[in-house]
Structure 1
Amino acid sequence: MNQQTNLNQFNYELMEEKSVPQNGFYKSIEINKENTFLLASTDITINVFVFQQGFIKLISQLQGHRNYVTSLKFLNKKSRFLSGSLDKSIIIWSQQLLANQKYIQKIKDHQNPIVALVIHPNIENMFISASYRQILFYQYSSQKQWICLQKITEIDGIFGLSINENGTKIVLCSENHIIVILELQQLIQQQKSDQIWIVKQKIKVRQWGFRVCFLNNDTFVFQPVSKNWNGTSHLNVYTLNKLNEFKIQRKIPIKGGGNFCINNFPSQYNKQKYILLVKNGNYINLFKYTEGKFRLKYKQALCFDITKIYGTLSQDGEYLITWDEKQRQIQIRKYTELKKIQTIE
């Protein structure tokens, strides 16, 4: 039986009256699940805004790091959030302590700058952190502290990290021209069962890249860059085959090729709106992906006059929030369905 999906053409429209001038250099932006709090980092400072239907108001500025903040993540079920920094540390903050400038815990297990933080999709009290040469797995303990459960240290030059829907596979990309697949496996020792992450597959690629993103349990996309750090003209799609190995399936045309590209703006897939976001060069590319297929009639490409663009999608897909070096504004764009084109089978 063929599944049917009613797809509408969409557009993220700029809410100009809600754009807020911000002169700082914003490298990481994150919004909570309820769309009520927005985080944006400038240098060592985490700016905390109240977010209300696109309007934002600064309520606090946090300084717990000694170098640039590179990654921000909210914990979905607790009023807490994480920050990672070039100073190699991770800080766990509480929304209840914003006025006091206090944090709950500072983690200093990494030996290199933090490049990515990922919350486990099904286990709220677990997160994964990546630095240039390490992947560390953390869980909240009965002692009310975050503890490191496992370290993977055999991969150099890590830039991007993504976890699949059921939380059993992780994909990461490296400047060493490899894509690495980690898999969660059961380990039985002395009649005790435990779970560990292992390196399941290494994929050699001609061009390395900054961005990688799972679309479901068995498909991910990888955005290559050239040796001069320029964006490329295609997005590579990898799927799991019958041998339980990921192989490249196809290449999707993408805008922004030939323009200088940087990291710190991870790709995202939003299941509520079926939208994949990929920053490439001076473009933000937005694709519809449903039922295992790219619907290339339904897409949007936002062109900026500069390549230093940072941002995020809200978890419900309603808001696209960006900052770029030319406009120097936090800009809010709202998801709008334009018209129904047809029913796709």
Structure 2
Amino acid sequence: MSGEQINYCDIHQSEFVAIENGENEMEKRRLCLKCLANGHKRKVILIKDQIKNVQDIKSQFNSDRQKQIKGNLQYITELIEKISQLKDFYITQIKKIDELGEIWKQKIQIMGDSSIEQVNKQEENNQEQFLCFVNQLQNIQIQELSQNQIDIENQLLLLKEPEVLQDCIQIVKKVQFDTKIINIETQEKDQKLKLNIFCEEHKNQRVILFDLGKVDTQLKRLACLQCIDKKSSQNYQTVNFVHLKWNKIITKRQENMERNLRTLDLKVNSINKDIYSIQESIKQSFEQNHQKLDINYNQYKKDVEQSTCQMKIKWQQLSKEEILKIVEEISNTEEEQIYRDPLLQKYVNQEELVNQIIKENLLYLQACQLAQISKLNNPLLQNQIFDEITTLIQKTNSNLNNVFRTGVNSTQIQKEVQTKGQINNQNFTYKLMRESSVKEEQLCRAMAFNKDCSIVLVGCNDQIQVYEFRQERLKKNKDLKEHGGNVVALSFMKKSNQFISGSEGDGLIIIWSLNPNNEWLISEKLIEHSAGIRCLILNDNEDLIVSCDLDDTIFFWVKQQQQNQWILQQTINKQSVCALSINQQQNKLILCGQDDQILILEFQKSNKIWVAKQKVSKKGIRICFIEDNLFTIQTYQNEILEVYEMKNKSKFTKTKDVQVLRGQQEECPLFPQQYIKSKCLLVSKNCQYVNIIKIKENGEFITQQSIEFQSSKLYGCMSDDAQYLITWDNVSKEIQIRKHQEL
């Protein structure tokens, strides 16, 4: 068994809490709470009970270990004292040996000197006596030296095995050393989270299970271990499982709230900046007009005052010419005009100036309003605002004419509003048809409508689910199980009752045909791919299939009409292809991948092969031809949809950027870009958004609708007539259909 501990039961991916003994003692099965809830309770040994036994053993072991350590400490203290005594003994004995050695040395010196002296004295005697004397002297010295040697040997023997050393050896033998290591994890993981909630039926039992079934049953939502003896359920989950799941839910909710908060914060800041800019601009405009009004009004007032002063001059002060002028004016002026304001024309000019300034101010406010509306990245809201403005102007048309008289032409304002408000020729949205949704827990990576939208295909893991789509309801007809891996590509043929499927697991491309009994049968398998399929497309003539695999190879399949079968015509190497598209003339092919390069291929009719014509350094994840010489690319995790165009039959170059919504989550592949030529609509997924973009005749790209999902693991497609949009995401876990709806 490896060092990694197995914590899961043999059936479910849950932590095991019990062991079930089989008929053979060697056969043991690990069981979790789900297993116990499903009735596995024959010869069950609860891990909880086993852990209690281990805890008791460990407690006893710790107690014995403490006693052992305490005794060892006493022996070691005694040993330290004995070693100190042994040290003193050795020091004393070494001194004695040194003293004996010194004495022996002195004796040898004395004996040597004495021997020499006696020998000298005996040299005078005869030789025979001399030799006898020498032998006796040697015997005496040898006996004395031997006695001294014995004394030293005895001292050394004492150093070798003294009594204190024997005592130390005996003490060391008494010290106990236990080399066993016990490392037992005695805490259950389920005990990391204990609820202070007890079972209503079994009062002393803590709640450890939750029933997560969606259908309201007679089972209790909160249950203890004894509850499962009475009622088993597949829906019971542990406290830890529910706690972890709830934490994930809370985390996602917080992420969504924070993302929405950041989005709203950006919008509020943008609006505040726009309001401040409008306020400053209006303020400057008003100040200029105010100054202009004051200047002209003051001049007019000055003229009135001057004219009044002239009229008030006394007749006695008038000259003859001035009197004649007055008489002439009275004589030749009609009665109804004689009292007219002499500065009437200046008054009219001043009034027209005032009205003109009022008009300019109001029209400037209108222009600011239109400019602000045009900044909104929401076509639906724009159209609603323009409609309300138009209705308001129509209702107040007569009032405006009365107020401004000759100043403001409301018809002209209405015309300007209508002209600037035409974002699209038609206003529409894609509305979710809740009644058409189908719950599907498994991952659905590919979808396709047939030409009349009567059949829907869904690639659900390694199966192809066939649905009938009648009266806008999905009804499953059959599951096609032929692929050995996840189905990631589906494409209906329009000229025949056939469709193509590709799998990223087995690398198979399968051609399916519908027989007269409405059964889908395999008509052909294309098995040249050595790795799984990443993406594939079918041309409009339905005689060319281009497929890309995970082994960085592009395959070109051509249909032989006479043999009615597909053959491999050409292969090209290209790293990590994740999307491809072919133009309407079917002579250009574009591919993008994770190698940060867009590859543009052209078909050479002379030798009937595809050759590389251009490379563009760009990391794209979705790509689509709009026209023969125009394509779009959604760059990886970017708010920009880039538009490339070929002009003068040269190379493709980027001509514009289109702002689209993206979101904050990581991008996922698949869900290819799709252009519906009949409606001039581009469907482009970008993280958790599906952007539906209207392409106008003047080449302008207008985002008509941005549908936000709660996950970037989002897959789908649009029907060929643009009536329906089908999707699946791993948060709702539903196959959802949205319908085109005019506003």
- Report the TM-score range of the alignment, normalised by the length of the smaller protein: 0.7 to 0.9
User: Match of 1:35?
Assistant: 453
**Cα pair 1:117 1:127 within 8 Å, conserved:** yes
User: Match of 1:146?
Assistant: 566
> Matches of 1:162 and 1:299 in 2, distance apart?
23
- Could you say which structure has the greater relative contact order, defined with CA pairs below 8 angstroms and 6 or more residues apart? 1
User: Match of 2:512?
Assistant: 93
Give the alignment of 1:46-195 within 5 angstroms: 46-86=464-504, 87-96=506-515, 102-121=521-540, 123-132=541-550, 133-141=552-560, 142-153=562-573, 155-187=574-606, 194-195=607-608
User: Match of 1:304?
Assistant: 709
> Matches of 1:182 and 1:293 in 2, distance apart?
24
Q: 2:653 aligns with which of 229, 233, 247?
A: 247
> Matches of 1:17 and 1:60 in 2, distance apart?
21
Change (3 A) 1:22 1:139: same
Q: SS at 1:203's partner residue?
A: strand
TM-score scaled by length of structure 2: 0.42
**Cα pair 1:287 1:294 within 8 Å, conserved:** no
**Cα pair 1:233 1:258 within 8 Å, conserved:** no
Unaligned runs of 5+ in 1: 188-193, 226-230, 339-345
Report the structure number with the largest CA radius of gyration: 2
User: Match of 1:332?
Assistant: 737
> Matches of 2:471 and 2:598 in 1, distance apart?
38
Q: SS at 1:7's partner residue?
A: coil
Does residue 224 in structure 1 map to residue 622 in structure 2? no
Q: 2:609 aligns with which of 186, 196, 219?
A: 196
Change (3 A) 1:254 1:186: same
Q: SS at 1:135's partner residue?
A: strand
User: Match of 2:684?
Assistant: 278
> Matches of 2:532 and 2:563 in 1, distance apart?
27
Q: SS at 2:700's partner residue?
A: strand
> Matches of 1:292 and 1:134 in 2, distance apart?
38
Count of residues in correspondence between the two structures? 319
Does residue 256 in structure 1 map to residue 662 in structure 2? yes
User: Match of 2:425?
Assistant: 7
Give the alignment of 1:21-32 within 5 angstroms: 21-32=439-450
User: Match of 1:343?
Assistant: none
> Matches of 1:10 and 1:217 in 2, distance apart?
27
Change (3 A) 1:101 1:300: closer
Shift of 1:97: 8.1
Q: SS at 1:17's partner residue?
A: helix
User: Match of 1:213?
Assistant: 624
> Matches of 2:431 and 2:600 in 1, distance apart?
36
Shift of 1:73: 0.6
TM-score scaled by length of structure 1: 0.88
Deviations 1:226-254 (A, max 9, x none): xxxxx211111110022521111111111
Shift of 1:127: 1.9
Change (3 A) 1:224 1:96: same
Shift of 1:281: 1.1
Q: What is the Cα-based RMSD across aligned positions, in Å?
A: 1.9
> Matches of 2:697 and 2:436 in 1, distance apart?
35
**Structure 1 moving runs of 4+ over 3 Å:** 97-102
Unaligned runs of 5+ in 2: 1-421
Change (3 A) 1:241 1:257: farther
Shift of 1:112: 2.4
> Matches of 1:97 and 1:262 in 2, distance apart?
39
Q: State the AA in 2 paired with 1:216.
A: E
Shift of 1:326: 1.0
Q: State the AA in 1 paired with 2:580.
A: L
**Cα pair 2:514 2:520 within 8 Å, conserved:** no
**Cα pair 2:726 2:737 within 8 Å, conserved:** yes
User: Match of 1:267?
Assistant: 673
